[in-house]
């Protein structure tokens, strides 16, 4: 059925898009009316239940969103920082309780106290200026430290449109196969967590025969604690755009779709402005730079669903379907957006491509260590003395990141959750054992992922943090597979009950639950949750043992 819906949605293409129409319909009140959803169902020849089921899934479209005027960040970093209760008390002085909603995460992890009003994000001391914010609807530019340790691939200064896009001019004079070979030599792997080689995807897509192919930038990977994608879209948007264009040339795709989190409003506007700038310089459209290469962009604003960071759920979302994870095969490079061959990669991965094409795959491969080539962006949260975005060569000791770049912790910390909610829970005593690369983290039972760092202070209970992870998974699950949909809820219930009553969790039962999530979930949301849970049980057994009866 979903394939048929993909074809129906594809009839209208990207210019008249069902998902966007639902967002437009929601703007006056916060949710589209039933009447409007029925009209859209008829216009797109979709079932009313399909449209209603899709719309009511998203945080910023569902009926519960109606009337919301301000949103509080409920991400992991703001939670462990302990800033949000006081923030809510301040907001209640200006807004009623039913006007306050939640967002996850706003990417303001470097200073916390994060909230969103009227399309703008705020953090830090901004809550003390609420009256001015409501009156003027103005926001100060966000500021955080940006630095590099090693080779500045993604943090180098932007030289200007003409100079930078000379990379494209040179690339278009070469055959796609030559460029693909440079990517193969580079060893560039996906920076969103999976570490999958991008050259393999582009090669597979190029081999597919189709009159339409897409390059999709997954800018909806909203791992709480990670704001490196936001940095790229707001400070280095042309790295992302040029990377997509070169990927399109290699894969024979003429359309790039950038699906950006609604929680990042500045990323959306800045990316759109950068695309307009390319049009002004005649670098988009048909016969670009006198070649036979055609390419255009489409920016789509998401509507609040972490699961859309999973590539197949993202594709269903663009099509206006409920964002459920698809069974593979077929893979997106075979049948992706509107059932057409599609390459999906995250922001940081695509942004590395221009450097590789300019300097050569061997140059990129010489940076880093082993199969972890190139550099990695790291997001440090507000528990560091020097929070911000740091670019380091793969293989850099984690101790250098924590102590030298981050300046150490400003208050006692017992663990760092690295790589997003599905990443590893790293106790501080392991800092000296790890280097920033895929293999080091995997060999120690962790996951590098987005390389975001959320600190867990000494006074924050690990059991409460685990409950938060299960609750997060339950809220964000697409609901398609039973292990994730049910197991996440059961896990949260068990951990909550053990905290507020005399109930003791049966360790065997809990281990079975975690194993079922790990091996039975359709995607990495349910399948990845067990990793930090297992890390916690291994390294914080003494702290957790009072909540279990078989420990």
Q: Tokens 């209970």, residue?
A: 461
pLDDT of residue 508: 95
Instruction: Give the mean model confidence (pLDDT) for residues 56-61.
Output: 96
Q: Tokens 């901004």, residue?
A: 126
- Where are the extended beta strands (E) located within 381-518? 388-393, 413-418, 424-427, 452-457
Distance CA 61, CA 375 (A): 37
Nearest to 6 by CA among 62, 59, 45, 48: 45
Four-point Cα dihedral 295, 301, 306, 310, nearest 10: -20
345-377 burial by CB neighbour count: b if 16+ within 10 A, else e?
Answer: bbbbbbbbbbbbbbbebebbbebbbeebbbbbb
pLDDT of residue 136: 85
Q: What is the CATH number of domain 369-456?
A: 3.10.20.600
Q: What DSSP element (H or E) covers 15?
A: none
The pLDDT tens digits of the residues spanning 1-10 come to: 467 888 878 8
For residue 199, CA distances in Å to 181, 296, 312, 344, 356 come to 8, 22, 19, 12, 12
Distance CA 293, CA 221 (A): 29
Nearest to 516 by CA among 473, 549, 481: 481
Residues 6+ apart with CB under 8 A from 141: none
Nearest to 259 by CA among 294, 311, 211: 311
Backbone angles phi, psi at 72, to 5 degrees: -100, 135
Distance CA 385, CA 170 (A): 43
**The two structure tokens encoding residue 130:** 């609420």
Nearest to 394 by CA among 424, 373, 411: 373
The pLDDT tens digits of the residues spanning 265-289 come to: 999 999 999 999 999 999 999 999 9
Each domain of the chain, given as residue ranges in start order, spans 2-65, 70-136, 150-366, 369-456, 462-547
For residue 450, CA distances in Å to 20, 85, 258, 377, 462 come to 28, 27, 18, 8, 22
The pLDDT tens digits of the residues spanning 425-479 come to: 999 999 999 999 999 999 999 999 999 999 999 999 999 999 999 999 999 999 9
Instruction: Give the mean model confidence (pLDDT) for residues 141-170.
Output: 96
The pLDDT tens digits of the residues spanning 478-509 come to: 999 999 999 999 999 999 999 999 999 999 99
Same fold, 2-65 and 369-456: no
Q: For residue 348, is pLDDT > 80?
A: yes
Instruction: Give the mean model confidence (pLDDT) for residues 218-245.
Output: 95
pLDDT of residue 135: 84
User: Are the beta carbons of 255 and 15 closer than 8 angstroms?
Assistant: no
pLDDT of residue 285: 97
**The two structure tokens encoding residue 55:** 């719309």
Strand 296-301 vs strand 342-346: parallel, antiparallel, or unpaired?
A: unpaired
Q: What is the CATH number of domain 150-366?
A: 3.40.50.11540
pLDDT of residue 1: 44
Distance CA 336, CA 254 (A): 15
Backbone angles phi, psi at 242, to 5 degrees: -65, -40
Q: For residue 146, is pLDDT > 60?
A: yes
For residue 149, CA distances in Å to 145, 373, 385, 390 come to 13, 15, 17, 7
Indicate the pLDDT class of residue 551, thresholds 50, 70 and 90.
low
Task: Name the class of domain 2-65.
Answer: mainly alpha
Burial class (CB in 10 A: 0-12, 13-18, 19+), 38: middle
Instruction: Give the mean model confidence (pLDDT) for residues 32-42.
Output: 96
The pLDDT tens digits of the residues spanning 82-108 come to: 999 999 999 999 999 999 999 999 999
CATH architecture under which domain 462-547 falls? Up-down Bundle (1.20)
């Amino acid at each position: 059925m979903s394939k048929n819906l993909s074809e129906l949605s594809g009839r209208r293409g990207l210019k008249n898009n069902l998902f966007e129409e639902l967002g437009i319909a929601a703007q006056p009140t916060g949710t589209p009316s039933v009447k409007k959803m029925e009209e859209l169902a008829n216009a797109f020849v979709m079932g009313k239940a399909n449209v209603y089921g899709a719309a009511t899934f998203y945080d910023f479209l569902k009926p519960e969103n109606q009337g919301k005027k301000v949103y509080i960040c409920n991400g992991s970093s703001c939670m462990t920082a302990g800033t949000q209760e006081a923030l809510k008390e301040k907001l209640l002085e200006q807004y009623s309780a039913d006007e306050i909603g939640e967002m996850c995460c706003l990417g303001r992890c470097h200073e916390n106290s994060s909230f969103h009003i009227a399309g703008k994000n705020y953090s830090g001391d901004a809550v003390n200026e609420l009256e001015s914010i409501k009156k003027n609807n103005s926001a100060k530019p966000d500021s955080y430290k940006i630095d590099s340790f090693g080779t500045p691939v993604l943090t180098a200064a932007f030289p200007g449109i003409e100079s930078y896009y000379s990379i494209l001019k040179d690339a278009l004079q070469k055959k796609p196969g030559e460029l693909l070979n440079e990517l193969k030599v580079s060893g560039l792997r996906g920076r969103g967590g999976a570490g999958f080689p991008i050259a393999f995807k582009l090669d597979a897509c190029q081999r597919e025969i189709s009159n339409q192919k897409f390059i999709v930038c997954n800018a909806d990977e909203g791992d709480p604690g990670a704001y490196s994608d936001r940095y790229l879209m707001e400070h280095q948007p042309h790295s992302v755009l040029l990377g997509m264009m070169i990927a399109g040339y290699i894969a024979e795709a003429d359309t790039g779709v950038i699906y950006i989190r609604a929680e990042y409003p500045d990323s959306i506007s800045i990316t759109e402005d950068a695309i307009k700038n390319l049009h002004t310089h005649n670098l988009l459209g048909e016969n670009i730079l006198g070649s036979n290469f055609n390419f255009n962009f489409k920016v789509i604003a998401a509507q609040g669903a972490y699961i859309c960071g999973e590539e197949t759920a993202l594709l269903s979302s663009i099509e206006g379907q409920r964002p459920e994870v698809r069974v593979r095969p077929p893979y997106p490079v075979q049948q992706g957006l509107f059932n057409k061959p599609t390459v999906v990669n995250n922001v940081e991965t695509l942004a590395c491509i221009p450097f590789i094409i300019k300097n050569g795959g061997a140059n990129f491969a010489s940076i880093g260590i082993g199969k972890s080539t190139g550099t990695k962006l790291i997001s440090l949260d507000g528990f560091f003395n020097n929070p911000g975005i740091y670019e380091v060569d793969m293989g850099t000791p984690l101790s250098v990141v924590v102590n030298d770049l981050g300046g150490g912790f400003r208050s006692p910390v017992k663990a760092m959750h690295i790589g997003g909610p599905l990443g590893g829970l790293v106790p501080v005593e392991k800092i000296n054992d790890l280097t920033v690369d895929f293999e080091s983290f995997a060999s120690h039972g962790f996951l590098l992922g987005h390389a975001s760092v959320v600190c867990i202070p000494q006074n924050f209970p690990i059991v409460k943090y685990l409950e938060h992870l299960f609750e997060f998974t339950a809220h964000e699950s697409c609901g398609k597979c039973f292990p994730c949909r049910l197991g996440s809820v059961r896990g949260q219930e068990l951990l909550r009950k053990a905290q507020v009553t005399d109930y003791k969790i049966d360790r065997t039962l809990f281990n079975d639950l975690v194993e079922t999530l790990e091996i039975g979930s359709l995607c990495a949301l349910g399948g990845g949750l067990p990793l930090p849970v297992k890390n916690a049980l291994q390294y914080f057994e003494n702290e957790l043992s009072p909540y279990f009866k078989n420990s």
